[in-house]
Amino acid sequence: MKKLFFVFITIFLLLNGQIISTACTNFLITKGASADGSVMISYNADSHTLFGELYFWPAMDWHEGDMLDIYEWDTGKYLGQIPQVLHTYSVVGNMNEFQVAIGETTYGGLPVLHHQKGAIMDYGSLIYIALQRSKTAREAIGVMTQLVERFGYASEGESFSIADKNEVWIFEMIGKGEGEKGAVWVARRIPDGYISGHANHARITTFPRNDSDNCIFASDVVSFARAKGLYKGEDKDFSFSDTYAPVDFEGARFCEIRVWAGFNMVSKAMNPYWNYVKGEINHDAKFADGTPNPNKYATNRMPLWIKPDRKVTLNDMTAFLADHLEGTELDMSKDLGAGPYGNPYRWRPLTWKVVPGDDADLKKMAKKFKKDTLVFCNERAAGTQQTGFTFVTQSRSWLPDHVGGVFWFGVDDPASTVYTPIYCGVSRVPQTFERGNGAMMQFSENSAFWVFNQVTNLAYTRYNVIHPEIDSLKTVLETKYQKYVTAIDMAAEQMYKIDPKTGREFITDFSVNTANALVYQWKDFYHYLFMKYMDGNIKTPNPGHLNPHVKQPGYGADWYRRIATDTNEKLLVK
């Protein structure tokens, strides 16, 4: 029965649509760098076909000889079987009952290393299996690397954030390609007091060889590269990222820039890396310290981690995930693509081509860059419309595990979602967020994903007037929830000392009721916004009168000037 239960769960995932998560953003915060002493990681799971829902696996006992079916997380494709362990731990979302949390971003890396025949461990399966089998971040890394070594790696290059209540690690892996099973990898513990991040590009460069407390790696991580002709030089000079995933314009401009933006919010030391994240990558003959660069590595990359100027708060974490490059020359709300209402979002594709034709400015540009066709890009910020789900985890060592881990969860656009608290020790999840309540092509009136998408997509039509209302209510609710959690912590800790079962029921009821109430409040909020802003108007109540007050702000002076310049006399009133 237990084996059939897990098969049912995996088939359920398959039937609820394909999940493709290849454009995500993570930040990692150590105890010494966080405002309250918690270890935190964050994750935007970004995909145009990812349905945002809250996963849950209860703790289970299994029999000797039970097998676990593996389905690829992105596609639902059946990959094979592995032996099940005798006991698996409870997991809600991407956090388990021991406060272990895992996030990821896909970086791809060298295409020749992407595929290996017969491999069955994809990155998504690695995450959720490791959560069910690990009590610490270090254990999770061990589980993942052992599974890949035994059963092969079935994904492209991947970066993982792995946290527990004491440590946080960045762990990067890439397969060995056809002809050899497994993967090469490096994992580094973020020094206490520092923060790190990754966003679809490998970030571990050189690493210490004799510091197993803080750095672990595959025994052949360098020798494999040499054998493939990818590296020459001494072991100490080997860079994982520059060898297996060399950074290019897109890697910097679309990926590294998201990490830079988060770092920049809490550090004044990021300006020297601005040109790099804009896509200007140097490959000097020597590094800044004078060391030769025979492998032509990038020489102006930003650091893997930084020490923030101040302690990082939970609100900082959600702000990192919602950024649109505000305050920089690439602010997405400022250029023509933002439209008349300053919308900091761009519909796909991410890049597009333009043939200069007779346009003088474009012809001049084409001549400068010696190209017949010009390729342009939208910015790819952390805050993006295609987020399926988003979270921030807090692992807190001073509380019992079931109470110490809080999984702050949201669906859809991180700039417009509300992060609701889910304790890691819950025994069930909210009906409005649970799997099976809607799907990407199945609308559900009380699904959190669809309710939040209704509000957010309405805001995209007139962002500068609608989004401030969303942001205001979001702030009120998240502030209230954070205060609630402080009180719930104290009560739940005492309950666990008296009766753990009652304590778990208490945190479950709080988590479920808070999340469900949020969704129904957000549903009413959509009704209010739709009535107020329909048809290009802004309507407010007019007490004592049948009809409301109506304002018609139009497009704004700047946009009207652009229209006049573009149309010349065509719209002129004569």
In SS3 terms, 81-124 reads as EEECCCEECCEECCEECCCCEEEEEEEECCHHHCCCCCCCECHH
Query: How crowded is residue 538: how many other Cβ atoms within 10 Å of its Cβ?
Result: 16
Whole-number Å distance between alpha carbons of 130 and 324: 33
- Find out whether 92 and 433 touch, Cβ atoms under 8 Å: no
Minimal CA–CA distance to 320: which of 406, 199, 202, 407? 199
% helix, strand, coil for the chain, step of 5:
35, 20, 45
Q: How far is CA 288 from CA 104, 249, 276, 513, in A?
A: 31, 21, 15, 55
Cα angle: 205, vertex 211, 217; to 5 degrees:
55
Residues in contact with 570: Cβ distance below 8 Å, sequence separation at least 6, in sequence order = none
Q: How far is CA 128 from the centre of its chain?
A: 16
What residue type is 359 in one-letter code? D
pLDDT of residue 523: 98
Q: Report the SS3 class of residue 142.
A: helix
Strand (E) positions, 473-542? 538-540
Residue that is written with structure tokens 């388990």 in the block: 96
- Find out whether 344 and 383 touch, Cβ atoms under 8 Å: yes
Residues in contact with 229: Cβ distance below 8 Å, sequence separation at least 6, in sequence order = none
Minimal CA–CA distance to 121: which of 213, 32, 185? 185
Over the chain (574 residues), the average pLDDT of each successive run of 10 is: 36 34 85 98 96 98 98 93 98 98 97 94 98 98 98 97 98 95 97 98 97 98 97 95 97 98 98 98 92 94 98 98 97 95 95 94 94 95 97 98 98 98 98 97 97 98 98 98 98 94 97 98 98 96 95 94 93 94
Minimal CA–CA distance to 219: which of 183, 245, 262? 183
Whole-number Å distance between alpha carbons of 117 and 125: 17
Query: Taking the model in full, what pTM does it have?
Result: 0.94
**Residue 251 phi, psi (nearest 5):** -60, -35
DSSP conformational letter for 423: E
- Find out whether 90 and 422 touch, Cβ atoms under 8 Å: no
Tokens read off for 179: 């002809």
Query: How crowded is residue 76: how many other Cβ atoms within 10 Å of its Cβ?
Result: 17
**Residue 81 phi, psi (nearest 5):** -130, 150
Whole-number Å distance between alpha carbons of 107 and 321: 18
pLDDT of residue 566: 92
* Chain length of the chain: 574
Residue that is written with structure tokens 């004799």 in the block: 210
pLDDT of residue 115: 87
Minimal CA–CA distance to 198: which of 255, 283, 248, 117? 255
Minimal CA–CA distance to 413: which of 295, 522, 493? 522
pLDDT digits (tens, 9 = 90+) for 380-416: 999 999 999 999 999 999 999 999 999 999 999 999 9
Residue that is written with structure tokens 């930084």 in the block: 306
Q: How far is CA 100 from the centre of its chain?
A: 17
**Residue 88 phi, psi (nearest 5):** -115, 150
Q: How far is CA 504 from the centre of its chain?
A: 29
Q: Report the SS3 class of residue 443.
A: coil
pLDDT of residue 23: 76
Residues in contact with 453: Cβ distance below 8 Å, sequence separation at least 6, in sequence order = 412
